[in-house]
């Protein structure tokens, strides 16, 4: 009788251990799925353009990842804190409905975004990889401003926090308004020919 009891106890322990292993494996797979979904969503054009529905979807994935006590990864805490503070929400994007599209190609990836300008004409927007900057070439500029939306993944990744910039107009540092992590409003003077927007990590 005692032998049978010990056998039953042993079977229960083995089954319990198997259940624990299966549970851990399921949790690990769920964490991997969440991480994969987060990374893929963070690279979409909708995310870089601060589409609110896409941001909300990414936010939900991040919160679920944290709630499941999944393994930490670089900048997870910063991303989580940003969402708690709603610092990645952008509304509205521009002051008016009149805006222009632009595209940047870097390392085989095309980044599409928009800008709005008053008081000048944008001839070209290019990316300088060595300085990690966008260069905006202007003509017929009067005193005015440009609002420019910068796709995430070009000057900054979604994992970086905060998004910071340094702006130069014709070789001189100028002030600017950061309306959101990815939207800048830069004023310029008459005759300005070039604005450089540098993505920084400090």
The answer to whether the beta carbons of residues 76 and 58 sit under 8 Å apart is no
Interval 148-185: pLDDT, tens: 988 877 887 766 667 889 999 999 999 999 988 888 99
DSSP class of residue 192 equals -
Listed by start position, the domains of the chain span 2-84, 100-200
Q: What is the pLDDT of residue 53?
A: 72
Which class in CATH covers the domain with range 100-200?
mainly beta
Listed as ranges, residues in the chain with pLDDT below 70 are: 1-25, 43, 45-52, 74-75, 78, 82-97, 158-161, 201-202
What is the reported pTM?
Answer: 0.56
């Amino acid at each position: 009788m005692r032998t049978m009891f010990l056998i039953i106890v042993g079977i229960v322990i083995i089954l319990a251990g198997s259940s624990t292993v299966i549970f851990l494996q399921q949790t690990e797979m769920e964490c991997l799925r969440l991480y994969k979904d987060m990374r893929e969503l963070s690279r979409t054009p909708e995310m870089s353009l601060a589409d609110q529905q896409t941001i909300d979807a990414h936010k939900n994935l991040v919160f679920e990842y944290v709630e499941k006590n999944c393994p930490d990864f670089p900048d997870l805490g910063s991303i989580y804190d940003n969402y708690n503070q709603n610092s990645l929400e952008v509304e509205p994007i521009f002051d008016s409905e009149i805006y222009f599209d632009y595209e940047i190609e870097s390392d085989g990836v095309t980044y599409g975004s928009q800008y709005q300008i008053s008081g000048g004409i944008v001839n070209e927007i290019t990316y300088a990889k060595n300085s990690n900057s966008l260069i905006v070439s202007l003509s017929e500029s009067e005193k005015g401003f440009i609002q420019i939306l910068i796709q995430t993944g070009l000057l900054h990744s979604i994992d970086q926090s905060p998004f910071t910039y340094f702006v130069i107009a014709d070789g001189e540092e100028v002030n600017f308004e950061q309306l959101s992590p990815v939207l800048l409003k830069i004023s310029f003077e008459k005759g300005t020919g070039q604005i450089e927007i540098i993505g920084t990590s400090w």
